[in-house]
Amino acid sequence: MGQATLAFRNLLVRAAIFVVLAAALAWFVGGTLFGKHRVNFPAITWDGREWAAQVIGNGSRPDEVRWRLLSKTGEDSWTVMPISETGQWRQLDGPHIDEQGLWIKVAENVSNTTPELKWTLIRFTKATAEPTKAPVANAPVPSAQ
């Protein structure tokens, strides 16, 4: 083999070792080297379940921060409530409880090109029921208790 071929093979072996070690380090620190942090806010109990808001982001850019609504029963693990297409929002207010049930107010981007947000009120009358959604402009936001 020529010198160039040996040098190229040496470079490929070093690159493969680097990728394997980087993947092992990423797995060790929680799944990825540049992962997103997840913080669960204090949970509230309603209708036999615990409910909590979760913020996800890496802190480098505000547009990468997302919110989710989580729910669990007893000692089960937290599950993301599949309320929207992605289940994630730009801003979230709640969860709150009033005489009609549990509600959250969420904001989603109107489009990818504008920072304008569209607010929606999502209400659960029972934990097992399908939530109702209403634009905030058409429905006054209930007061939190």
Residue-wise pLDDT for 30-77, tens only, equals 666 556 677 778 889 998 889 998 888 766 565 567 888 888 988 899
Q: Please count the structural domains in the chain.
A: 2
Task: Work out the pLDDT band at 15, boundaries 50, 70, 90.
Answer: very high
Same domain? For 18 and 47 the reply is no
Asked if 6 and 14 touch (Cβ cutoff 8 Å), the reply is no
Same domain? For 4 and 58 the reply is no
Which domain does 103 fall in, by range? 37-135
Percent helix, strand, coil in the chain, to 5, is 20, 40, 40
Same domain? For 69 and 10 the reply is no
Whole-number pLDDT of residue 139? 47
- Would the pTM count as exceeding 0.85? no
Query: Peptide bond preceding 140: is omega within 30 degrees of 0, i.e. cis?
Result: no
Whole-number pLDDT of residue 8? 93
C-alpha dihedral over 95, 97, 103, 105, to 10 degrees? -60
Going across the sheet that includes 101-109, the strands are 91-98, 101-109, 117-124, 132-135
Whole-number pLDDT of residue 87? 59
Distance CA 83, CA 30 (A): 27
Same domain? For 76 and 111 the reply is yes
Q: Which amino acid is at 57?
A: G
Same domain? For 58 and 8 the reply is no
- pLDDT higher than threshold 70 for residue 103: yes
Same domain? For 56 and 111 the reply is yes
Residue 140 lies in a domain: no
What's the CA angle centered on 39, arms 33 and 42, to 5 degrees?
165
C-alpha dihedral over 53, 91, 119, 108, to 10 degrees? -110
Same domain? For 80 and 104 the reply is yes
Same domain? For 55 and 101 the reply is yes
Same domain? For 75 and 127 the reply is yes
Distance CA 7, CA 38 (A): 44
Residue 141 lies in a domain: no
Beta strands in 73-142 (DSSP E): 79-80, 91-98, 101-109, 117-124, 132-135
